[in-house]
Amino acid sequence: MSRTTSHRPLIAVLTGAGISTDSGISDYRGPQGLWERDPEAQKLVTYEYYVAEPEIRRRAWLMRRDAGALRAEPNSGHLALVELERSGLPVRVLTQNVDGLHQKAGLPERKVFELHGTAQQVEYLRCHARSGMAEALDRVAAGEPDPACLVCGGVLKPATVMFGELLDPVVLDRARAVAVACDLFVAVGSTLQVHPAAGLVDIAVAGGARLVVVNASPTPYDALAEEVVREPIGTALPALVRRIIAGE
């Protein structure tokens, strides 16, 4: 992990669902992931089904209500990245997660690029207004199984990128620029199977960045990595961060 550049190295960290499992938020594709337990659950976050089928939306709102994601707290993995940022090294976090835990842990908003949007807010598909997820969940708890916009009557969905939707091009372009410029690219808790997010690894490696993969199971990019870490993220990431800060 020794530094080979004379300037202050830019560190890009791509985080996936695996970094949040210790906070009680299930991943999707892991051995115990949501899709493995209930393959039909993928319809709940697929745009085509969500917009067309009221029953899918009702099930999705119940899933959000019961998941308790808004009550989740950052874990040692999130806090380790805050420690890395506060060390003074240039750090940008490119996250596939929508839980907002990086910001809740203390990372500045401007240093977190939410590739798949945020579950902290909801948006209305007709008028494009946004409001808080907590407010929407309060309406569900009060007996509205499929809350709609109170002004335009449009379908209400989380401000996340569902399957079948395109990523925000502005956020994606910013993330690609970080991948091009970084010296070290750390992929944490991601299967690196979902594109275009996984393609950021290709961009970083093509630009000469060193790659470290921290994930419980193999990824398609392990062969390109300088180091692959299989230990639990809650202990492995803090240890890795300490090494990076020490310049090892």
- Which amino acid appears at position 216 of this protein? A
Question: Which residues fall within 8 angstroms of residue 243, CB to CB, at 6 or more apart?
Answer: 1
Q: How many whole angstroms separate alpha carbon 38 and alpha carbon 59?
A: 13
Catalytic residue among 7, 78, 102, 116: 116
* Among the listed residues 48, 14, 244, 73, the one whose alpha carbon sits nearest the alpha carbon of residue 157: 48
Interacting residues of 88 by C-beta distance below 8 A, sequence separation 6+: none
DSSP per-residue letters across 115-154:
TTEEEEEEEETTT--EEEHHHHHHHHHTT-SS-B-TTT--
SS3 243: helix
Q: How many Cβ atoms are within 10 Å of 248's Cβ, its own excluded?
A: 10
Q: Which residues fall within 8 angstroms of residue 123, CB to CB, at 6 or more apart?
A: 129, 130, 156, 157, 158, 159
d(CA 18, CA 1): 23
Alpha carbons 188 and 215: distance in angstroms, whole number: 6
State yes or no: is 116 an active-site residue: yes
| Eight-state DSSP code of residue 32 | T
Radius of gyration of the chain, Cα coordinates, nearest whole angstrom: 19
Please name every residue paired with 11 in a beta bridge, in sequence order, or none if there are none: 91, 184
Question: Which residues are annotated as catalytic?
Answer: 116
